[in-house]
Structure 1
């Protein structure tokens, strides 16, 4: 799966699109039946009755939902009813919160309905598949599916599908590099939203996201004055609706605009101000531009330090973006000048990897000839390997490099065969360990600039916080600092000293450790959906929980639960 490619914040269409897809798939009418009916009798019920039974079952009763969905499909297959077969597979596609399964079931929906002349199908199958591709950052595939679905919706005269899909295609066009086309669409969406923004149920977050994307696309088109107009509009609207989190997203954006306008001092101030309030994706970008400012000032050591921060964050969240390649070029040159060929080779390989990731998206058209384009990098890589070989009097380094390359190639060839074996091993290790991972960091009684008694108090309060499972709640660094009666600077330093992690990584590890133990000891919890488990662990979405679980344990939660149940 490719790393996610940066496109600033996009408006939150996941929930909206799921609701829209359900509306396309089913008509909301019918009688609600008792959940105590035997599922083996459902096949004799009407489709509407089976649907209502499914909707009334608790989200956590995954096994029962599977039986009901299977009954729906069995009835449809018995009647040779392709539309209702597709509707049954829609249940399975959205039941688990797993993108891989979602794509597979969406494929099935398309196959069953591709030759139909139905108002909603097969367009809904393409939309659903596009949704899942988007969730894992496969934007080119997502855009292709949305455009196919939109074309079919237009042919069938389905205006509702087209209207909802218009926003999604605007974002994906932006991600695919078609910025001028995306701009026209964003402005058309904004014009329609301006007329209803004071209505009671208006989605303000949606509105701010479109303003953000409009400003961002102007940056990409090198129209900084227009970008500034929309970023200021976004800040003003954030104040009006009292959305402080989005306010600082616009402060961050204005820092980027100031950089491209040649106002480095203002850019640095804006980026630095936004840092405590923005997510890790934006932080990685902010540190990159702060590094570029130092580079322009000739302060190479400072630039190197900020580029390394960018690399560290990007690595921790599996995040690739075009500017990261520029940061790697600077790091490569730095290590080359220091004759640190091990590190130079490491970052040359990283650059080659990012080239591969970036090349998978139309969005990432590199508009300049890079100093370290792929052929040159391959030559530099060989030169670095040769230099390492020359310095090593026994010549073992070059041999080891060739062995590593051979091993990597073998691993790639047998990847799918080994995957199951690796997952099983990770499961067994996880089953036998009391915690998924705990970085051993030397304990200290104080940290630079923190009084010893304050350090001790914060440490004790953190232990109570962990013991009481306070981390499962939606919590920011500022909110936890307030609860512990300290400030964010002290709290962040203590966490970093004690755990060797930043605040976000600290919370993620606590939550995964907590849920691993729950799943191992509580059979009922294992019957919940991934979405419900994610929510209980403190994650916002099933996808973010699954990704975090995999990063911490090496396996996905669905596999872990299945193996626990098998045991």
Structure 2
């Protein structure tokens, strides 16, 4: 699991959402030693060709284009180039300069009689990204909402929506953030935009989904490493190093983190070192800080604390000299506290622990509301207990036996508690299985009675049409046509020679349930009876059993079975096999 409890890292992946208002201008110009002879359009083309690979060069082209726009007093292009310069500075973590330039662009655009809505939307969106990068999320949200007002086309709305989802993610609304990311991904996939642009957006969103799952590893009780692995692999398949080096290395940062989560510490270190080599050449302090941090985390896991401290301190040096607000600063101090204490430097460890506490206490009001209980009741006490344990081991070897006894006692206590919990769980499952078997017996009794009694639907239902359809529905049930994999509302309507709306209302009114609940209940009840009485069927895999009863996916079958019976199919089958062995 991840060893951090909040946010993981700054908004790496929002900067993937490149704005393509320059895309109609050719970027196929070759670079020469002098920019003096270049036209405005040529400079913009050169900028577009470099922004995804080398923003330090791209900003030179945009600054020259800005000079040309000022010479011609072209306010539209002045604003556009200010935006481009701001975007480069955002890439390079020059946030104060980025904010200054984008504010100037917004001021120019806002004073024009005819508003350039697209460019204003881009500017406000970029301003929001800068605010988010310096952890002023309330201002970021205001900027995104302003960008939304000016946004006219679908893709720009997706950019803004993705950035708002990022804020939701940063404040632990993970499920909602993932829902928005996946919804946007589907929209992009089905869009008709240029293929290269489409893939860039797809990879950006996939990277955000990956990051969210990685953060959820620690913030929730689940383990989402497999999901993170799936989406990051998908992103890496779609994008190569040659297409956009900056974007590619951000994906490698995710890969580095996933390898750490999978316990492949040596591979994670090797990949982190590759990232370090790249970012040192390209002045990317954000990626460098993250790479150093994870090299340190990997070495700490390998109990090579001196090497871990070396890289933690490198990351700390970047943070102390940066304009960016790094959420990992608190976590870095925590790791430094543990590592220094582990090598016996207790005072140094305490110093970083005090810094960790100070940073926890300095959380913004929004974060305190969400995270205060977790930090106060869980993280800090656990960390203090771990530090105290390490101090005792280092300061007094004489207490080693006492420590071992305490640990042994704790383990025994955990085992006892686990055993009691397990017994209670097993008892609860057995009770549910007994209830399910009783239900099966009742279903078998009702089924036998149904075979022997004559249908009297027409006597109970006064609506002749409804009575006729209910008789057909009864025949549909008797033939067990609901077990077809193709069984849908339209399928049933066709069998009953009616329309979907009428059939749906019929089931709602006379069966007192939705169509989906009706079909699912029939299938699960049939499964319960047949599995009890069919030994051959019991030997099938869960997937094959699911298909036998009309479910296309094993997961859907298991979920429906658990929802209706309170137990999983595997537990039911196990009980049936045990009873068979006893008999």
TM above 0.5, yes or no, is: no
State TM-score, norm by structure 1.
0.43
Task: Answer with 1 or 2: which has the greater Rg.
Answer: 2
Q: Which has the higher contact order (CA 8 A, sep 6+)?
A: 1
TM-score by length of 2: 0.42
* Greater helix proportion: 2
